[in-house]
Chain A
């Protein structure tokens, strides 16, 4: 990825319109974005590109968002990547599962694009 000073964010969701929606939302807050269509691709991209933030859907083919997060938890090279789950699974036990897998944040679908941007900016500012 070209080093233009913009923070890199990964968006992983198997639903194309949702993925595109999140991608454009994140680009519009000044980030570079790479996308993945399933958990395996997301994991590979996180390991090779080291994005600052990974926005993961929970229910994805091949590897779920939780499984991706658990894989990364034990990976020293990827520990700088913050994970945000963006999911339609909204029960308390889902949220707890997400945080126990290593998420920094857990957002519900349907989501507010402005709220997502605000959270991304806040996370990036905190890490700087």
Chain B
């Protein structure tokens, strides 16, 4: 064979190999697509059957017979039941959770928490959270306290919060101390959902020296908006950090402590403009005090702030006056500041619409 013919031969062979590889790839993709469609069809059929069967049984007070298939059908069954548990409440939910426990779904999922792979342990925690079974509390608590992986610990905390009652807010606040910013957000969400039960531990944490803990605790308290004891918050109005002072004054307004109005009025004279803005917002939330003496201080502060060096402060003060009843409105009308004019216009527009 001449050199040229050998080259052409090689080219043709190469071309066939490439076409063969492309053909195999296309066949693999097509086969994957068909497999996926079949999988989705089986999942949809399983889900449909489960929903119908469960609701009929719940409605007729019949025993709930939940199947325990393996593989694809098992996963579809479990996902459907968890979705139903999330959607319904009351006796129906209790029965569904009971059925999952009786059929061994909870125990099977707990086994995932013993996996060597952190991703599998985290997935197990998430699924157990969806099942809402208290039988999962002990293994989840163990993962929360002892798992070497931070994501698994946080997912266990989220799952425990879903199930309810097993986790203390003190545990979680402790967990925050060793977390990154993003992880702190997750913990904050969990604590926030605990609601008023988390408040005592959060108030205790306001004595912490770590500014990140203080910021987080104040943010969560603002979210929960319930503060039975204001002294820990009042102390923070003099904190050296601007962010802490700002959040503390926010919280006093949100949680509605009218007894703190004097301290809030004082904070409206803070050296930093955005603390002044937040203080004005809190004054507005609490509205004009009943006592004439305190009301005079309230109006006087707002009027003084109409001449603040910062436009945002002037604007906020003007709005607060516009919303402070007829006297506040009159005070504003007597002022000639730009912020006063715009606040008056906005007030008139709102009144016309109402």
Contact yes or no, B92 A17, CB < 8 A:
no
Contact yes or no, A17 B91, CB < 8 A:
no
Other contacts beyond A112-B92, A113-B88, A114-B92: 8, CB < 8 A: A20-B52, A21-B55, A21-B88, A24-B56, A28-B59, A110-B86, A110-B89, A114-B91
- Please tell me if B87 contacts chain A, counting CB pairs below 8 Å: yes
- Please tell me if A25 contacts chain B, counting CB pairs below 8 Å: yes
- Please tell me if B84 contacts chain A, counting CB pairs below 8 Å: yes
* Majority-rule SS of B interface residues: helix
A21's contact among B51, B89, B90, by CB below 8 Å, is which? Answer: B51
| Docked complex Cα distance between A121 and B88 (Å) | 19
* Binary CB contact string for chain B from 36 to 57 against chain A (1 if under 8 A, 0 otherwise): 0000000000011001100110
Query: Within 8 Å CB of A25, what residues of B?
Result: 55, 59
Contact yes or no, A112 B84, CB < 8 A:
no
Contact yes or no, B91 A112, CB < 8 A:
yes
Contact yes or no, A28 B52, CB < 8 A:
no
A to B contact number (C-beta, < 8 Å): 51
Query: Within 8 Å CB of A16, what residues of B?
Result: 47
Contact yes or no, B93 A110, CB < 8 A:
yes
Query: Within 8 Å CB of A111, what residues of B?
Result: 87-89
Contact yes or no, A112 B51, CB < 8 A:
no
A17's contact among B58, B84, B89, by CB below 8 Å, is which? Answer: B84
- Please tell me if B83 contacts chain A, counting CB pairs below 8 Å: yes
A18's contact among B48, B87, B89, B93, by CB below 8 Å, is which? Answer: B87
- Please tell me if A109 contacts chain B, counting CB pairs below 8 Å: yes
- Give 8 CB contacts A-B under 8 Å: A24-B56, A25-B55, A28-B56, A28-B59, A111-B89, A112-B88, A113-B59, A113-B88
Contact yes or no, A20 B51, CB < 8 A:
yes
| Docked complex Cα distance between A25 and B56 (Å) | 8
- Please tell me if A115 contacts chain B, counting CB pairs below 8 Å: yes
Query: Within 8 Å CB of B52, what residues of A?
Result: 20, 24
| Docked complex Cα distance between A121 and B286 (Å) | 44
For A110, give the chain B residue with the smallest CB separation: B89
Given the known interface contacts A17-B47, A21-B84, A24-B51, the answer about A115 and B59 at a Cβ–Cβ threshold of 8 Å is: no
Contact yes or no, B55 A115, CB < 8 A:
no
The smallest beta-carbon distance between A60 and chain B, in angstroms, is 16
The smallest beta-carbon distance between B40 and chain A, in angstroms, is 12
Query: Within 8 Å CB of B205, what residues of A?
Result: none
| Docked complex Cα distance between A114 and B92 (Å) | 8
| Docked complex Cα distance between A109 and B48 (Å) | 20
For A20, give the chain B residue with the smallest CB separation: B51
The residue in B47, B80, B88, B93 that gathers the most chain A C-beta atoms within 10 A of its C-beta is B88
